Structure 1
Amino acid sequence: MKKELWRQLIHASGVFIVVLSYFIPPQLLIFLCVAILIFVVMVFRLDHNHNIPLFSTILRVAKRDHDERGFVYFFIGIIITLYFFQFNMGIANAAILILLFGDSASTLIGKRFGKIKLPFQSHKTMEGSLAFLVVGFLVSITQVSILTAFIGTLAGTLTEAYSPIDDNVPIPLVSALFMSIVVYLIG
């Protein structure tokens, strides 16, 4: 569980992207995320054969044995969300926060306290999904209205629970899409 806690803290550290969005334009933020992704991929590959101070330690502490590509999907999800939803940075930021904190909460709470399995999903729990919904909602209301935040977080919760692919890509996209629909319909 300690390893997973470190992983989720690193996951949540992506909040710097939301903070930077207040100071730099979306196009530059997208470029920065692409540059970080390329850097991390290079460090990851170099780490296979060399000890890289600080980075190798972080990778050994936080890397899942069976998943070497999670961080790639994480950045791809954020980059695509920024690209498609830069017209409303409140929505883009809310979707990114839902990914960062909702997904981390669902993993930590689900693994630690999860007892009730979700229907049609043997490796996800009701407790984890509830944690995603509550935490995702709380962080997203810092960016969008209460109704918009709730609908976006609910969509993200269902995506996290039932996505057939790595959830780091579809969570922010689906959340942002549903929030955009709410904003469009309500005006």
Structure 2
Amino acid sequence: MASTILSFSITVKSNFIFTSGSNSAPPPYSSYFLNRFKFAQQLKGKPRRRLRRKLTSSAVMFSENPVINDFIATAMSGGIALSLLRLWEETAKRGLFDQKLNRKLVHVTVGLAFMLCWPMFSSGRQGAVIAALVPFVNIIQILLLGLGIRKHDATVKSMSRFGDHRELLKGPLYYASTITLACVIYWRTSPIAIAAICNLCAGDGLADIVGRRFGSHKLPYNRNKSIVGSIAMAMAGFLASIGYMHYFSSFGYVQESPEMVLGFFIVSLAAALIESHPLSTELDDNLTVPLASVLVGSFVL
């Protein structure tokens, strides 16, 4: 009995000496569990992210068939865009807002609301092309109205500065074309699409609204633009870009990072500077702002 106790104490003591800092190699079972622990630490969080993306993707799919899913998504996003257009047509018809303010409310809301619908579409080129059909239909409508082939005074009034149908062939046409091309070329996995649409819709839209209301101090190189309007444009475009970066990141389409945030700030600042230039007024803000966003974004995003 005494020998058994002595043998047990020696075994425990030897194990204690090993675990207390001996340079001897660990026994096989210790190495096994140590490696398992390290492997688990390396994988910690990864399955959860994959599961989150899988659940998110399945939540936005209306059908297992991608084609059926995309047409359902098209109907829903088109319905949302059409509802907004009808809303602003009614406000223009009833004179609830100043015509220029009403036009800018269309400008701000329609593009941003449509971009919120992008996760409903399937991944890949098919989803991008089918999603682009929504603004493309609007392009056709704008051409018909702008060329005078179709008459609809409420729509013309909600989209134009002075109620002239020919105005639709410039700003509104550039606006719809930007969103269409952003869908087809860049889509939801590119921060350039986010920057182009956010600076066009939120940035340029808020610049006009804020500038007209509070813009008493004009820019020295362009008396048609105000300092506060340019600041509002840069801030609105930047904040909207950050919001959509986080939104698309939650679906796994982009990877948000401090570098991307800085890139969005540079793009919004550049877009605001371009918008404030007199040449931008002559050409059209709806053309110069997205072009500047895409060009600068290609280098910093």
Are 1:99 and 2:200 matched, yes or no? yes
In structure 2, the residue corresponding to 1:64 is in which secondary structure? coil
Distance 1:2 1:172 in 2: 26
- Tell me what 2:99 maps to: 3
Letter of the 1:152 counterpart = V
Question: In the aligned structure 2, how far is the partner of 1:167 from the partner of 1:73?
Answer: 9
d(CA) in 2 for partners of 1:26, 1:170: 24
Provide, for residues 39-80 of structure 1, a one-character-per-residue CA deviation record: whole Å limited to 9, x for no partner.
Answer: 232245211xxxx4xxx3243355212634321121123334
1: CA distance between counterparts of 2:213 and 2:236? 16
Deviates more, 1:14-23 or 1:149-158: 14-23
Tell me by how many angstroms 1:147 deviates: 0.6
Correspondence 1:31 to 2:133 = yes
Which gives a bigger RCO, structure 1 or 2 (Cα 8 Å, sep 6+)?
1
Map of 1:1-187 to 2, 5 A cutoff?
Answer: 2-12=98-108, 13-24=110-121, 25-44=127-146, 45=148, 46-47=150-151, 52=152, 56-65=153-162, 67-69=167-169, 70-86=171-187, 88-144=189-245, 145-162=260-277, 163=280, 164-183=282-301
Once residues 97 and 113 of structure 1 are traced to their aligned partners in structure 2, the CA distance between those partners, rounded to angstroms, is 22
3-state DSSP class of the match of 2:284?
Answer: coil
Whole-Å separation in 2 of the counterparts to 1:68 and 1:19: 25
Alignment-mate amino acid for residue 64 of structure 1: R
Q: Which amino acid aligns with 2:154?
A: T
Gaps of 5+ in 1: none
* Structure 1 residues 83 and 61: CA distance shift in structure 2, 3 A: closer
Structure 1 Cα separation of the partners of residues 98 and 198 of structure 2: 23
Between Structure 1 and Structure 2, which shows a larger proportion of helix residues? 2
Distance 1:111 1:161 in 2: 14
Structure 2 unaligned segments of length 5 or more: list them: 1-96, 122-126, 246-259
What is the percent sequence identity of the aligned residues? 29
Q: What stretches of structure 1 move > 4 A for 4+ residues in a row?
A: none
User: Match for 1:34: what amino acid?
Assistant: F
8 A Cα contact 2:198 2:240, kept in partner: yes
- Give how far 1:16 is off: 2.9
Distance 2:105 2:138 in 1: 18
TM-score, normalisation: structure 2 = 0.53
Farther off after superposition, 129-138 or 79-88: 79-88
- Coordinate RMSD, CA, aligned: 2.3
Q: Is the 8 A contact 1:11 1:100 kept in 2?
A: yes
- Structure-2 change in CA distance of 1:177 and 1:26 (3 Å): farther
| CA positional deviation for 1:95 | 1.8
Q: Secondary structure at the match of 1:143?
A: helix
* Residues 140 and 149 in structure 1, CA contact (< 8 A), matched pair in contact too: yes
Structure 2 CA distance for partners of 1:40 and 1:175, relative to 1, 3 Å: same
Distance in 1 (CA, whole Å) between partners of 2:187 and 2:296 is 15
